Amino acid sequence: MKHGQPDDQPRTGPELPAEPLALEGYAILHQMFRIRRANWRTLDIDAQNRAVAEAASLLNQMQRRENGESGLFSQLGHKGDLMLVHFRRSFEELNEAEIAIANLELADYLEPTTSYLSAIELGLYEASVALYKDLIAKNVEPHSKEWDAAVEAELARQREKVSPRLYPKIPPRRYLCFYPMDKKREGTDNWYRLGIEHRRDLMREHGMVGRRYAGQVTQIISGSIGFDDWEWGVDLFADDALVFKKLVYEMRFDEASAGYAKFGPFYFAIRSEPGELGKLLISE
């Protein structure tokens, strides 16, 4: 028996490739920091103001970038005080952003609590299954030159169609919920042993839940396999914080989540402007 097929289900032709096609966009870095307040308080107010002004100036420049920007967020809870989210065209540009932050005077008073590296990803389950079936019906051998050329042509077509979703602005909403997640590989609960058509159907059901929250939540999915400890990062942006609770709770009842999802830690933060940085650091 092949993985993802019941014992009593006859195979009627070549099996479809397991891996769905995907498109990648901006590289993303989340940085979370705790303020070393005991050390920060040893500075006089003039030194604090200089450090804040320098950092605010840099963050303002980063926020105004046209081709990949940065956002400042104030975290709630013990997991950190500040969160920076960077969208960039390349990992080299992310590295430059990280170094620029580290070189700030303020960085001496910030303790990194965690970070997360990923790249915006749009999975193409529907298009993949349709393309694979069409190529197999034409007796095109998987991963042959003809197959690979057809795949590249489909990726180019899809990339042109969804380009704004691959390279978006950081959504201008008040609240951010970020969490990493995996698909299970535990005994029979193994996402990667399901056939691609089964996974497509599960993701279609999963997506229908999210569509009911369109207009209330902006979701950005990023892939992190090979980049960080989890497989995907999920950013949810909304102007009503309670919608995060409703959406995530409802999604846990669909089969893709109930049967195959593993969730990492959740981070909640409020969007702040660079000019508001002083309010987060300096007590009058």
Q: Is 192 a catalytic residue?
A: no
Helix (H) or strand (E) holding 59: helix 45-63
Could you tell me if residue 86 is inside a domain? yes
Q: Is residue 262 situated within a structural domain? A: no
Q: What is the mean pLDDT of the chain?
A: 94
Q: Which residues pair with 178 in a beta bridge?
A: 235, 267
Place of tokens 């940065």: 70
- pLDDT single digits (tens) 69-123: 999 999 999 999 999 999 999 999 999 999 999 999 999 999 999 999 999 999 9
Q: What's the CATH code of the domain at 29?
A: 3.30.70.1030
pLDDT above 70: percentage of residues in the chain: 95
28 by Cβ neighbours in 10 Å (0-12 / 13-18 / 19+) ranks as: buried
Query: In which domain, by residue range, is 79 found?
Result: 25-119
For residue 283, what pLDDT is reported?
Answer: 65
Given pLDDT bands bounded at 50, 70 and 90, which one contains residue 14?
confident
What total number of domains does the chain contain? 1
Taking only the tens place, the pLDDT of each residue in 252-269 is 999 999 999 999 999 999
Q: How confident is the model at residue 3 (pLDDT cuts 50, 70, 90)?
A: very low
pLDDT tens digits for 167-213?
A: 999 999 999 999 999 999 999 899 999 999 999 999 999 999 989 99
In a domain, 274, yes or no: no
What is the C-alpha separation between 174 and 165, in angstroms, rounded? 20
148 assigned to some structural domain? no
Q: What is the pLDDT of residue 284?
A: 55
Share of the chain above pLDDT 90, in %: 92
Please write the tens of the pLDDT for every residue from 33-49. Answer: 999 999 999 999 999 99
pLDDT for residue 5: 43
- d(CA 157, CA 148) in angstroms, rounded, equals 14
Task: Select the more confidently predicted residue: 283 or 273.
Answer: 273
Instruction: Read off the pLDDT band of 4 (50, 70, 90).
Output: very low
Give pLDDT, residue 282. Answer: 78
Give the helix, strand, coil percentages of the chain, each rounded to 5: 40, 30, 30
Residue 125 lies in a domain: no
Tell me, yes or no, whether 75 lies in a domain. Answer: yes
Q: Which residue among 116, 175, 179, 267 is the active-site one?
A: 179
Does residue 4 belong to any structural domain of this protein? no
Q: Looking at residue 214, what DSSP letter applies?
A: B
Q: Per the domain annotation, does 252 fall within a domain?
A: no
